[in-house]
Structure 1
Amino acid sequence: MNGISGYAALLPIDWLAQLEPHWRFALFAALGVVAGLGLDVVVRRVPAAIERAWLEEMQAVDAANPSPLHAPVSQAAPPGAPLVLAGPLAIASGPSLAASPAASPAASPATSPAASPAASPAALPNASPAASPAPSATPSRPPLANTARPRRWQLSLLSGVLSVAVAWRLGPTWQSLGALGLVWTLIALAYIDHDTQLLPDILTLPLLWAGLLCNLGHWFATLPAAVIGAAAGYLSLWALYWVYWWLRRREGMGFGDFKLYAALGAWFGWTALLQILLLACLLAIVIAGSAWLIGRLRSDQMFPFGAFLAAAGIATLFGGNGLMIWIGGTP
C-alpha cells in the first residue's frame, strides 16, 4: 500500500530512472518553463474564444428575435470588450468552448438559476440598464494587453517550480507525468478564473476524464473511489448551490466550480474531497478576508473560488490526505 494516496505503488519509467537526480530535476524544470509559455497562451486566448463564440450566438439570437429592451449585441459590446458574465451561464452550444462561471457565495446578482446565454443578453457590458445587473456586482476581465508580458514569465516560473516539485515528490514515475498534466491544467484554470470568473469546460471536463483514466491503474486512488469522487464532488456543490438559492434567492457559485471539484474527486478519490473543500475555504477566508479588510474587495463582490479549489488540489497532490487525520478520518 504505497503511493501518494496509499493505493498503488509508484511505477518507474526506466529511462527517467537512469538519469541523475539533478538532470531529472533540470528536465522537469525545462518542461515546466516551456509549459508555462503555453499556459500563457491558454490563459489569454481561451476566454477570448469563449467571448467571441458567445457574442456570435447573441448576435444570432438578437437578429432572430429583436427586442426593444435589449440593444443589439454588435452595438452593446464590441468584439474586444471585456467579458462580463453573471449567473451559471453554461455555454453548451459553443464550438467546443463551453464555459461555466465560478463565483463565491457572496457574489452573484439575483438571476434565474436556469439562465442561459440566449436568455441573458443583459450580462454583456453596456447592455440595457433596465435588464443588466448593477455594475458594482459584476467584475470584468482586465484588458489582455496589460497582462500578457508579465504573466508569461510569472506562469513559466510557477510552472517550472511546481514541475520540479513533482519530480521531487513522485520521482521518475508514470505518476509524475500524470501529475504534471494535472498541475499545469490547475494553474491555467486558477488564472482564468481569477481574470474572468470562468472555469472553461474545455479544460475542466478533459481534466475529469484524465483523472479517471489515470486511476484505471490506481495511480492516485482506486478506480471505484475516483468514480465516486467525481460524482460526489459534482453533486455536493450542486446541492449547496440549490440550498443557497432557496435560502437567499441568488446564486452562490457557478457550475464550473462543480465540474472542477468533480475533476479533483476523479483524481484523488472521494476520501480527499472534504480535505480539498476545507483547504479551499480556508484559503478563501484568509485571502479574500484580507482583501476585504484592506478595502480591495467589497462584501458584495465576486471572488474566484475555483482558484482556491485549484490551489487545494495542488496541495493535496503534494501532501496527500494527511489533513483527514486531523478531522477524524483516515488518510
Structure 2
Amino acid sequence: MSIFFVIIFFIDLKHFIIPNQLTFPLMAIGFFKTFNPNLNQYFFPNLIDSMIGGVVGYSIIWIIIFAYKKLRKKEGMGLGDAKLLSAIGFWFGWMSIPFILFFSSFIALAYALPSLLNKSKNMSSSIPYGPYLVLGCVLYLFLLKQIVLYLN
C-alpha cells in the first residue's frame, strides 16, 4: 500500500489526477485481505467493517462532489478522490473515515490558507486533495494505538 500512496501523492500533486490503475487494485486488495485470518485485526478490520468503509468512503466524497456541482454549477473535485477514500475504507474500515477526512481537510486548509491570505491563490484555485487523503491516512496509522486507547 505504501508504494501506491507515494505514487498517488506525487501524481495527484503534479497532474491533479488519481489513476484508476492505482485505486482499483487498492480497493480489490483491501477487500480480499479481509479473508486472510493471519492479518493483524488491530490494523485491519473484518469483512463487514471493510465493506462499509469502502462504500462510506466513496459515498461521502461523491455526495460532496454532487452537492458542489449542484450549488456552484461546476466541477469542484474528481472521482479519483472518492475512489482513493473508498480504497482506504476497504483497507482500514469505516471507523478510519471520519479521522482521515477531518485531518486531511485540516492539513489541506493549513497548506492553502497562507496562499489565500497573501492572495497568491483565490477561493476558486485548484488544489489536489489526494495527497492530503494520503497524509490523513498516514497520520491515522501513526496515531491508531492512541485512538484505540482513548476510545476504550
Residues 1:196 and 1:229: Cα distance change in structure 2 (over 3 Å): same
TM alignment of 1:284-295, pairs within 5 A:
284-295=108-119
RCO greater where, 1 or 2, for CA within 8 Å and sep 6 or more?
2
Aligned pairs for 1:267-278 (under 5 A) are: 267-278=91-102
In the other structure, the counterpart of 1:238 is: 62
* 1:10-29 alignment, distance < 5 Å: none
| Number of aligned positions between the proteins | 147
Which segments of 5 or more consecutive residues in structure 2 lack a partner in the other structure? none
Q: Are 1:201 and 2:25 matched, yes or no?
A: no
Partner of 2:3: 184
Structure with bigger helix share is 2
Matches of 1:239 and 1:296, distance apart in 2: 29
Residue number among 282, 299, 304 corresponding to 2:106 in the alignment: 282
Separation in 1, partners of 2:22, 2:29: 11
Distance (whole Å) between structure 1 residues aligned to residue 127 and residue 104 of structure 2: 12
Does the CA contact (< 8 Å) of 1:275 and 1:321 recur in 2?
no
Name 2:83's counterpart in structure 1.
259
Structure 1 range deviating more: 220-229 or 257-266: 220-229
TM-score, normalised to structure 1's length? 0.42
Please, which of 141, 145, 151 is the counterpart of residue 317 of structure 1?
141
CA positional deviation for 1:323: 5.1
1:79-138 superposed Cα distances (whole Å, 9 cap, x missing partner): xxxxxxxxxxxxxxxxxxxxxxxxxxxxxxxxxxxxxxxxxxxxxxxxxxxxxxxxxxxx
Work out which of the residue numbers 292, 303, 306 in structure 1 matches 2:130: 306
2-side partners of 1:321 and 1:278: how far apart?
18
Q: How far is 1:257 from its partner? A: 0.5
The residue type equivalent to 1:270 in the other structure is W
Find the residue that maps to 1:199 and give its secondary structure: coil
Gaps of 5+ in 1: 1-181
Letter in 2 for 1:199: I
Q: Percent identity?
A: 29
Task: Tell me the CA shift for residue 239 of structure 1.
Answer: 1.3
- Displacement of 1:322 after TM fit? 4.6
Larger Rg: 1
Is residue 272–residue 321 contact of structure 1 (8 Å, CA) maintained in 2? Answer: no
